[in-house]
């Protein structure tokens, strides 16, 4: 999005371009909300104008509705949360009939998150969604740690990962974003493979495998034993992974993992992220994304940055964009 900004007393007009490209998709600014933390946009729309967001990544979708995991499903940790939701969602039919029309009516940029149990289910979800009016990109979730089928196996076994993306790409008529798992020995191998298989962009990172023990019962707190850790506690890990991926691949990176404020956003961008997603902070402060958009615009003005390319990856160039 381009704004005309009037400065006093010189009355000099500066054109501030906040838009970024994720493959062929142009979004109005790089501040998005991450899948699983913003529902289907209806929840956040009670607190903000969701059309101001760069994009909304929806809750992970499957062909049929999913009830998710048994409770308990979420618990606070120092500087974060553990969750074991299990990809609870309404299913593709209700999403297309009820959720998507609401989002489009509100003027939001919608990027559905695809979370099928099998390769074939992911292919079918991608085929349906990318042939739906109003959807110009999808995010393929290969990294959920809280489901027994699909999810984590797709994201941790390179051969399965490769096969999945090859098949999905053939039926994807829109921008294809791959959401990577941090629970691997070298995430850059998966980023490189995603690009080679035709991905337009990658999301980095999903939650980190973690555990809590119920000390009263002497057993794991969650029924599935492990859960996904998110929030500020994982930010330094996520920044490192974005930095490493930027040095190996040249497709856009959407950075996420513990982002709470403008300083966090700048870290991710300087490490190499073209856009970012706010996640756990949405549960703490539902207007955090709007606050970050305003702070981001103020930063660009104060630093006289007219194009995001001056900022993305600056930590690799060891120069500030002045």
Between CA 234 and CA 107 the distance in angstroms is 32
**How far is 207 from 181, CA to CA, in rounded Å?**
7
Rounded distance, CA 50 to CA 65, Å? 25
292: annotated active-site residue: no
180/210 Cα distance (integer angstroms): 17
Helix (H, G, I), strand (E, B) or coil at 306: coil
Q: Name the active-site residue from 144, 172, 260, 292.
A: 144
Cα–Cα–Cα angle for 112, 74, 34, nearest 5°? 25
68/193 Cα distance (integer angstroms) = 30
d(CA 87, CA 70): 12
Give the DSSP H or E segment for 55.
strand 55-61
| Cα distance between residue 224 and residue 220, in whole Å | 8
Catalytically active residues, by annotation: 144
């Amino acid at each position: 999005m381009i704004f005309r900004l009037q400065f006093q007393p010189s009355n000099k007009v500066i054109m501030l371009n906040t838009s970024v490209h994720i493959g062929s998709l142009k979004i109005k600014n790089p501040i998005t909300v991450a899948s699983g933390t913003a529902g289907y946009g209806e929840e956040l729309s009670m607190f903000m104008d969701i059309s101001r967001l760069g994009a909304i990544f929806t809750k992970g979708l499957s062909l049929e509705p999913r009830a998710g995991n048994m409770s308990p499903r979420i618990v606070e940790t120092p500087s974060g949360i553990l969750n074991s939701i299990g990809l609870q969602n309404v299913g593709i039919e209700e999403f297309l009939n009820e959720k998507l029309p609401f989002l489009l009516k509100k003027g939001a940029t919608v990027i559905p998150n695809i979370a099928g149990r099998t390769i074939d289910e992911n292919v079918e979800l991608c085929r349906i969604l990318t042939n739906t009016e109003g959807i110009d990109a999808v995010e393929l979730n290969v990294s959920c740690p809280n489901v027994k089928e699909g999810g984590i196996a797709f994201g941790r076994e390179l051969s399965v990962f490769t096969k999945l993306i090859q098949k999905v790409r053939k039926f994807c008529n829109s921008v294809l974003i791959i959401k990577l798992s941090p629970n691997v020995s070298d995430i850059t191998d998966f980023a490189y493979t995603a690009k080679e298989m035709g991905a337009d962009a990658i999301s980095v990172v999903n939650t980190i495998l973690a555990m809590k023990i119920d000390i009263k019962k002497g057993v794991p707190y969650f029924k599935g034993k492990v859960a996904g850790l998110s929030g500020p506690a994982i930010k330094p890990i996520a920044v490192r992974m974005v930095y490493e991926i930027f040095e190996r691949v040249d497709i856009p990176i959407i950075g996420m993992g513990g982002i709470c404020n403008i300083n966090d956003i700048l870290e991710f961008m300087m490490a190499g992220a073209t856009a970012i997603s706010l996640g756990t902070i949405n549960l703490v402060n539902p207007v955090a994304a709007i606050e970050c958009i305003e702070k981001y615009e103020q930063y660009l003005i104060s630093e006289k940055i007219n194009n995001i390319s001056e900022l993305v990856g600056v930590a690799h160039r060891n120069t500030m964009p002045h």
